[in-house]
Chains A and B, each alone.
Chain A
Amino acid sequence: MGERGIVLVGLNHRTAPVELRERLAFENGHHEHALRRLMAVDGVAEGAIVSTCNRVEVVACGASPDSLGAALPAYLAREHGVTESTLGAHLYTHVGRDAVRHLFRVAASLDSMVVGEPQILGQMKEQYAAAAAAGASGRVLHRCFHKSFSVAKRVRNETGVAEKAVSIGSAAVELARRIFDRLEDQTALLVGAGTMGELTARQLLSGGVGSVMVTNRTFDRAVEVARHLGGTAVPWERLGRYLPLADLVIGVASGDGFLLGVPVVEAAMRERRRRSIFFIDLAVPRCIDPAVNQLDGVYLYDIDDLEGVVVDNQGARAREAVKAEAIVETEVEAFWRWLGSLDAVPTIVALREKIEAMRRAELERLLASMPDRSPEQSAAIDRLTVSLVNKILHGPLSALKRHQASAEEAFYVEAARRLFRLGVDSPDDEDER
């Protein structure tokens, strides 16, 4: 297996345009055939495919990483009917430790377009399962992928990489969750039908908000936007009448003075029996009187406040990402130590040394208890133990030698290490949950 047995070749949102990524994506449910063809590539002992809308990657293990590094791009090109030169500049190749690190970072969502987004882990689990079901992944990839899942879990639990909102819309959702118990029960009111408002309303809806009303100076436009959002349009003149029905208000329509002042909001709060309203003022100049924030149960955030939250969160994410990278690094090292322990040669040496040490110890004990022995007797006993040890070790050692540099090497090495209890940091199943 050796130092460089794992190779990862692929492209992602940073290296390739979306057209190419689409072209190369492996369709869901068609992995099986693709994996079978991957296994047929010369030198591939284990293989797996990770394909999402932002990345297409092929991971393979084999005895010769150099030939894998050349064979995998050719395989990708062949699979998708493109020329290798088209792929050329967009592909990256990671070998050995770098390949493991890359896989761990992808699983932990550190390599995602939106760092910390949670979908990638689920997609990887599915695609690893497909590789396992097709018999393409073996011991090394099994351990590598499972390790990447537990790294992702650690990063999620121990850092804040995944928990901070980094867009205006997601910051609004995050704040709304601190005010309301169930967003599903809440209604949003979009005041003004500009693009920014529509986008934010959409993010609130996908963040769980139950329904949306839209109002606009020109009613037709309100109807149109309401149709896009799956909400209802309400007449502009009746804004005050509908305000009490809204739990979240997104203001994007500016004009002369404030559209919503303290008296209107106070009246709405009374009618709502002081249930909270969350106002989001995205208009420039602002359309909601900042003084309403003083009212009990009213929370007003303007665009600067929200951006403040986002910047805080981005800073926090960047700090958290440093922690996450440190976790990845530790785990890569641990995995690498395990992989190194799978080499046949050190295992053969260790096995010989261990048994020889046992033989010597026992021999000395025996000879010490026989003070009257003759030198011939001592030599005979010594010969006996040597030949016994050699006979016992013959099978295991020749099996290890025979499978050296083959696909089963890791299996035999690990079996030997476990059966004969070799090495202190023996590869236990600590993380194979």
Chain B
Amino acid sequence: MMIEFTLLRLATFLYLAATIAALASLVARRELPRQIMPGLLLLGLLTHAASIALHSVHAGHLAVTTLAEALSFLALLMVALFLVLQLRRPLLALGAVVSPLAFGMALGADVIYQGARPLPPALQSVWLPVHVGLAILGDAIFALASSASLLYLVQERRLKAHRGGRMLRGLPSLETLDRLNYTLLVWGLVLLTLGIVTGIVWAHSAWGTPWSSDPKLMFSLATWGIYVILLQGRMSAGWRGRWAAQLTIAGFAVIVLSLVGINVLELGNHGTF
């Protein structure tokens, strides 16, 4: 219990350091922050993963059943995905959004940390890691897509406003960000769909009802709807750019709302996380 909490603290601190390095690399000319930012995130990721692994062993199941655990897991997957993305195509500027986001989530998990809890028998199943893992991976991909969208909106606003080269260097081009948004959207939607389907199947095997009016499901379907419409619009109507970026962020806002809102209000089967 103590060790994993200390590790989580350490990871939070490392994400904060990465945030500072990322912001410094956007405004300062030194190469150093740019070079150490991915390293700080990687260190954060490793300590974070160790914390979650210990916590899961302690709890006897994948530690994703409280809000703190879910936030923590989401931050972990998001950072991991960002680092994998860097291997394919370095977009360090994205780190300036991902690092503070990871820091915020880890800090949130830190503050409301409550240790492991026994699981109700109905939920003790192999479906737990499968369903929750897929769902949170989808959320992490949308978090990255939203980060890219945020950068898009910043870059777009600067270009429209005819502001010169001052401030913020090294932002990727609009086209790069838009393309990244599209790719992430496709993958995010695939995982969200799988998350919803496994949720329904699991609910069926646990409670015998294939369809419940669980608010989490409602929110997920709303998110799903937004992203399906967006993807459809992109593929057939050529939606892109600002509108696509705004919709992506709106979809992620619904995700955050459902994650936090449902837990605070303790609604439905997902009331605990």
Contact = CB atoms under 8 A, between A and B. Distances in A.
Is B a genuine binding partner of A?
A: yes
Interface of A: 157-160, 163-165, 174-175, 177-181, 272-276, 293, 296-297, 299, 301, 305, 308-309, 311-313, 316
Interface residues of B, number: 24
Given A179-B159, A274-B238, A293-B160, A312 B173 contact: no
8 contacts: A159-B29, A163-B169, A180-B173, A181-B179, A274-B239, A297-B242, A301-B162, A316-B166
B175 A276 contact: yes
A179 B240 CA distance: 13
B215 interface: no
B120 interface: no
Contacts of B237: 273
Contacts of A305: 162
B175 A273 contact: no
B159 A299 contact: yes
Contact of B165 (A181, A299, A312): A312
A179 B173 contact: yes
Contacts, number: 69
Interface in B167-204: 169, 171, 173-176, 179
A301 B169 CA distance: 20
B211 interface: no
B243 to A, nearest CB: 6
Contact of A179 (B174, B238, B239): B174
B165 A313 contact: yes
A165 B169 CA distance: 13
Given A164-B165, A178-B174, A181-B175, A297 B159 contact: no
Most buried by A among B155, B166, B173, B176: B173
B242 A177 contact: no
Contact of B176 (A164, A181, A299, A301): A181
B164 interface: yes
7 tightest Cβ-Cβ pairs between the two chains A and B: A273-B238, A312-B164, A181-B175, A309-B164, A305-B162, A181-B176, A297-B241
Contacts of B30: 157-158
A309 B171 CA distance: 17
A376 to B, nearest CB: 66
Chain B contact surface mostly: loop
Contacts of A159: 29
A274 B173 contact: no
A250 B262 CA distance: 53
A296 B162 contact: no
B155 A178 contact: yes
Nearest to A164: B165
B164 A308 contact: yes
Contacts of B240: 273-275, 297
A158 B30 CA distance: 6
Nearest to A270: B238
Contacts of A313: 164-165
Contacts of A175: 159
A158 B29 contact: yes
Interface string B103-127: 0000000000000000000000000
A174 B169 CA distance: 12
Given A157-B31, A274-B240, A309 B165 contact: yes
Contacts of B179: 181
Given A178-B159, A179-B174, A181-B176, A160 B29 contact: yes
Nearest to B236: A273
B264 to A, nearest CB: 37
A159 B28 CA distance: 10
